[in-house]
Amino acid sequence: MRTILFGAGGQLGVDLARLCRKRGHSLLALRRSQLDITDEPATRQRIARHNPDCVINAAAYNQVDQAESDAETAMRVNALAVRNMAFACAEAGAVLVHYSTDYVFSGEKGSPYTETDAPAPQSVYGVSKLAGETFAQAHCPAHYVLRVAGVFGPPGRHTRRGNFAEFVLRKCAQGASLRIVDDQFATPTFGPALAARTLDLIERKIPFGLYHLAGGEPVSWFDFARKIVRLAHCSADLEPIDRTHYQAQAHRPRCAALSNARVEAAGIAKMPSLDAAIAEYLRSRKRERPVRR
Ligand SMILES: NC(=O)c1ccc[n+]([C@@H]2O[C@H](COP(=O)([O-])OP(=O)(O)OC[C@H]3O[C@@H](n4cnc5c(N)ncnc54)[C@H](OP(=O)(O)O)[C@@H]3O)[C@@H](O)[C@H]2O)c1
């Protein structure tokens, strides 16, 4: 299979590139320094020239708070670049895989969100990601739009943005105290498991469409931190706080847990339990080397 991967220097991108190679894809993996996806002619040219069966877009503007004051960049990267990619994929007859987020939801439903629930993003980031997924669906019939949440993959040890697990481990190593929200819930998603299931969808020709492919296990950020600390055998001064004490520019959903029922019904394996994912994370991160950008 001929595959192009955009955003190959991000935490998910590194895991995807590794796995594509292992599974024998003929892979063109492009980091940001090799291709800026907002360069529309260059992106179209790469897609037309490589003649891929599949384009995976792991590039994104993920600075949730910064997006509130830089809506233009968020929209350019998360929405308009995806629109351009979708047109180019449709023209080339390629499948487009694109990742979206639980932040497209308000978080007020009270139970895990399914693909038929109406999005109601409450932040610029959420709006930009919703626009991106809508463009992918509108312009490339052969698409997988995968909503994920709180991604933590071992390459995040060295990537620019890192991830929540690295934040917790760093604070522990510094002996710093941690105040983490206990009334905000998500379904944290283990990067390597997400990468494997992404390739399963493509390779097994699962019907195209929108799927939730997150961790499957709703947890508060405080409990997530507590599990990381316990499984890493480190000691930390952890304090639960409520979200009114967490000052941030962007509004975050209170509980945007995603249900994986649809993707599982399509034949994709269940995600690992959160404990198993964290344990694997802690083992794998030791082998990670710095990522080129
Ligand atoms: N991380 C999460 O918690 C989370 C939650 C929900 C959804 N998601 C989605 O999951 C997908 C994978 O995210 P991730 O966790 O791997 O994020 P990540 O580690 O931040 O990786 C994103 C990559 O995109 C690159 N990028 C940013 N702007 C670009 C541009 N204009 N052109 C090319 N590359 C660009 C970044 O490069 P630089 O680092 O050099 O900027 C980075 O390498 C994204 O679609 C994201 O929105 C992630």
Q: Which fold has domain 2-285?
A: Rossmann fold (3.40.50)
CB of 127 shorter than 6 A to ligand 1: no
65 versus 247: the higher-pLDDT residue is: 65
Residue 292 clears pLDDT 90, i.e. is over it: no
Q: CA dihedral defined by 104, 106, 188, 59, rounded to 10 degrees?
A: 20
Q: Per residue in 20-38, pLDDT tens?
A: 999 999 999 999 999 999 9
Mean confidence (pLDDT) of the chain:
96
Q: Per residue in 229-244, pLDDT tens?
A: 999 999 889 999 999 8
Report DSSP state, residue 205.
T
Give which of 285, 248, 277, 254 is closest to 105, Cα–Cα. Answer: 254
Catalytic residue (choose from 61, 99, 113, 125) = 125
Instruction: Work out the average pLDDT over 182-194.
Output: 97
Quote the percentage of the chain above a pLDDT of 70.
Answer: 100
Protein residue whose Cα sits closest to atom 39 of ligand 1: 160
Protein residue whose Cα sits closest to atom 3 of ligand 1: 150
Residue 293 clears pLDDT 80, i.e. is over it: no
Domain ranges across the chain? 2-285
Q: Per residue in 83-93, pLDDT tens?
A: 999 999 999 99
Protein residue whose Cα sits closest to atom 21 of ligand 1: 10
Is 61 among the catalytic positions? no
